[in-house]
Structure 1
Amino acid sequence: MTAFAFSTVASILSEPGASANLGHLLAERFPGTKRPLLVTDAGFLRTGLMEAALMDLVRHGMQSAVFSDVVADPPEDVVLAAVAAARQHDADLIIGFGGGSSMDVAKLVAVLAQGSQALPEIYGIGKVAGKRLPLVQVPTTAGTGSEVTNIAIVTTGATTKTGVVAPQLYADLAVLDASLTLGLPPKVTAATGIDAMVHAIEAYTSRHKKNPLSDALAREALGLLSRNLLPACERGQDLQVRQAMLLGACLAGQAFSNAPVAAVHALAYPIGGIFHVPHGLSNSLVLPHVLEFNLPDAERHYAELADIVVPQASGSDEARARALIAATQQTARMTGIETSLRQVGITESDLDRLADDAMLQTRLLGNNPRELSREHARAIYAAAL
């Protein structure tokens, strides 16, 4: 058996309504906490869904502050503003409360607020030095899995994204509370859910670090997500379905944090960076076309995943693998999200720029089961047009 290492967060609590007891959880698990900082975005703050958590923090004698200036694909200035807010508040614990962007910013605040490193010094893999503030993550979408990953993505230029990957970015506690996701619109539910499915699929076929634990998590995640995605879009107030989606996204996050994602994400990043398309939708737009490209080298693994997603599929590995690809396309169509690049404003004249940017994602492309060139990338974008 191949040697491997597996890392994840220290603790996970999966319980509808758990965020309303946040003060109790912190008092119990992080005794002495007095000044937590909650990191979120203005849109989620306006929903009022954080109020119960904030009230419980007060009940347990904590003086909390809220930083709510996170935006999608957070740029460096947002991260630095959040770090400044943590220092001004003298925060002793950081809580990421929101989607992937809020949780990514929370990770960076936790490692930078008390340390001496500057943000650019920690870009890359394993560049974070020393310890961090205690970190709790509370996801409000079932998609990124950021609550259980050791990765944070920052927009570092007009369109470029840079990653921070370090063990210090793993949270101390992830709280999965589906009551926070009940208000998600169907299209957001669909795009974030497909993002989580991509995490599971890419972890299962990751070239270098695929291992028995990541495989088991990816398979379980894909089962939960594929069974519950359409019901979550159609019955958005179904707490049981929403909790299953949150758990699926969490398991997929654990899988890809150890067996990293690949070409789907590499090709999705420029779509988000240049055209400001949400990350989950960017992934969904290129997913079937990357799967088709990878087929010669990933056929057996795709066939194994087809047994989970489309158990009625039969025949050869190739036939079942193609059934998986067809299922991803059908799922996107049935949810009503965009299924072509043209629908999000991309034209043929943009494909060269997209291909050039995709080839900069060397960290991700190295994980792909099949070697991918610039010409391949452009062809995949053309197929997705």
Structure 2
Amino acid sequence: MYDFQFQTVSRIISGLGSIQELTTVLTEQSSKKVLLVTDNGMLQQQLHHPILEILEHLSLAHVIYADVIADPPEHVVNSAVEFAKQEKIDTVIGFGGGSSLDVAKLIAILAHPNQSQKLAELYGINNAKSPRLPLILIPTTAGTGSEVTPISIVTTGETTKMGIVSPVLYADVAILDATFTQNLPAHITAATGIDAMVHAIEAYTSKIKKNLYADMLAKQALRLLNQNLKLVLEDGSNLQARQNMLNGSMFAGQAFANAPVGAVHALAYPLGGHFHISHGHSNALVLTEVLKFNAPNAKHLYAELMTWIDPYSKGCTDGLCDLFIDHMQNHLDRSGLTLKLNALNVPKTALSTLAQDAMLQTRLLQNNPRDLNLNDAEQIYHAIYA
């Protein structure tokens, strides 16, 4: 446990109004033509205007790719890359939720003029290679932590997702400014906040690469997220709480980038792939049952997390573990999210298919503190059905 390697983004700029630092960043990078990668929702809300103002102030040529969709499929990535190549851009800014940031990372690699790799060659671990274009990531949700992870998730078929994991995907700069998150609807705030908490929990219980550095970040992330999720759900305009959520999400992202996630994510992916349930919501659906399943192997870790987020909590290891699971369930109950599959129009006949697809997520399942088989996965889906 004491021998480890740790990597992260080399420069993080965090704070209310920190988007203004983009001027310095772009000047230092000697950018000539910038691609802003986002989605149509960001354009409709005009959230990208502060970035455009900076680009115009610097007299920087720029173009926008705004066709990113949730759980981006391969054709979206490929069309974005072709657009970037045609425009001969030299800097990529990802702006939005996790999907926009994930696509921006891949554009930065695949649109580099000296890059010979194709998207299909990148899937898996350490297959994506240099060179890549300068990359700046600016999240507008406090959840995925994608701005500090070396991971992009792509929908590869009608229902399947695959990950691309490589240090080349680490951005040059991440800018965290909560002014971009203050108008997030409550259901998105809740789902992305739960997603970030799952990242922290699963990093702390990661079986293979758990380490002291990631543990430190996971605990601090969970404390910030635990303290502030309720606050932002009660008052979305609470900018300090929003900034704390962004920082918590970022810390959790750094943690799970180095101590990878497990069964919660493995069981969540098929829900998004088959039924287009958002990633954070999918995590929320399976979280409690996976915690219960993992408890025989991870109860001491859950107990440690309970005493970290609430130093006044008392009890034996079993009791503190149960308290932690109840505590997370309370977050889910307050989230306003639908927590049963039948209420989301998932047919019961699909549960076995969901379980089979979850078992394909071997990259994730190997990190889970307790081995999970097909029957276990199906039982978890049944437990959250109605």
So what's the TM-score if we normalise by structure 2?
0.97
Does the alignment pair 1:348 with 2:357?
no
**SS of alignment partner, residue 174 of structure 2:** strand
Name 1:42's counterpart in structure 2.
40
CA deviation digits over 1:22-50, x for unaligned, max 9? 233311x31x2110101000011111111
- More deviation, 253-262/308-317: 308-317
Shift of 1:21: 4.6
Shift of 1:171: 0.3
CA deviation digits over 1:269-294, x for unaligned, max 9? 00011000000000000000000000
Does the alignment pair 1:384 with 2:384?
yes
Name 2:226's counterpart in structure 1.
226
Name 1:97's counterpart in structure 2.
95
Residues 245-284 of structure 1 correspond to what in structure 2 (within 5 A)? 245-284=245-284
User: CA separation in 1, counterparts of 2:6 and 2:169?
Assistant: 15
**SS of alignment partner, residue 70 of structure 1:** coil
Q: What code does the residue aligned with 1:85 have?
A: F
User: CA separation in 1, counterparts of 2:323 and 2:270?
Assistant: 28
User: CA separation in 2, counterparts of 1:188 and 1:270?
Assistant: 20
Contact 1:24–1:56, Cα closer than 8 Å, also in 2: no
- More deviation, 275-284/129-138: 129-138
Contact 1:49–1:180, Cα closer than 8 Å, also in 2: yes
Name 2:23's counterpart in structure 1.
23
**SS of alignment partner, residue 61 of structure 2:** coil
User: CA separation in 2, counterparts of 1:23 and 1:79?
Assistant: 27
Contact 1:21–1:56, Cα closer than 8 Å, also in 2: no
Q: What code does the residue aligned with 2:91 have?
A: L
Residues 184-333 of structure 1 correspond to what in structure 2 (within 5 A)? 184-333=184-333
Q: What code does the residue aligned with 1:260 have?
A: P
Contact 1:21–1:53, Cα closer than 8 Å, also in 2: no
Q: What code does the residue aligned with 1:103 have?
A: L
User: CA separation in 1, counterparts of 2:312 and 2:247?
Assistant: 25
CA deviation digits over 1:181-230, x for unaligned, max 9? 00101111000000000000000000000000000000000000000001
User: CA separation in 1, counterparts of 2:363 and 2:47?
Assistant: 36
Q: What code does the residue aligned with 1:372 have?
A: L
Name 1:335's counterpart in structure 2.
335
**SS of alignment partner, residue 208 of structure 2:** coil
Shift of 1:309: 3.3
CA deviation digits over 1:234-267, x for unaligned, max 9? 1101110000000000000000000000000000
Q: What code does the residue aligned with 1:266 have?
A: A
User: CA separation in 2, counterparts of 1:276 and 1:123?
Assistant: 22
Name 1:81's counterpart in structure 2.
79
CA deviation digits over 1:284-313, x for unaligned, max 9? 000000000000000000000111334443
Return the match for 1:51 from 49, 52, 56: 49
Name 1:11's counterpart in structure 2.
11
User: CA separation in 2, counterparts of 1:75 and 1:88?
Assistant: 21
Residue segments in structure 2 that go unaligned for 5+ positions in a row: none
**SS of alignment partner, residue 144 of structure 1:** coil
Contact 1:204–1:214, Cα closer than 8 Å, also in 2: yes
User: CA separation in 2, counterparts of 1:24 and 1:260?
Assistant: 33
User: CA separation in 2, counterparts of 1:65 and 1:20?
Assistant: 19
User: CA separation in 2, counterparts of 1:25 and 1:169?
Assistant: 18
User: CA separation in 1, counterparts of 2:340 and 2:185?
Assistant: 20
Q: How many residues align?
A: 383
Q: What code does the residue aligned with 1:333 have?
A: D
Name 1:63's counterpart in structure 2.
61
Contact 2:2–2:212, Cα closer than 8 Å, also in 1: no
Does the alignment pair 1:72 with 2:70?
yes
Distance 1:21 1:7, change over 3 A: closer
Q: What code does the residue aligned with 1:34 have?
A: K
CA deviation digits over 1:109-129, x for unaligned, max 9? 001002111100111111112
User: CA separation in 2, counterparts of 1:347 and 1:87?
Assistant: 43
- Equivalent pairs: percent with the same residue? 52
User: CA separation in 1, counterparts of 2:311 and 2:268?
Assistant: 28
So what's the TM-score if we normalise by structure 1?
0.98
Q: What code does the residue aligned with 1:96 have?
A: G
**SS of alignment partner, residue 354 of structure 1:** helix
CA RMSD, Structure 1 to Structure 2 (Å): 1.0
User: CA separation in 1, counterparts of 2:198 and 2:228?
Assistant: 15
User: CA separation in 1, counterparts of 2:5 and 2:24?
Assistant: 33
Q: What code does the residue aligned with 1:9 have?
A: V
Q: What code does the residue aligned with 2:368 have?
A: N
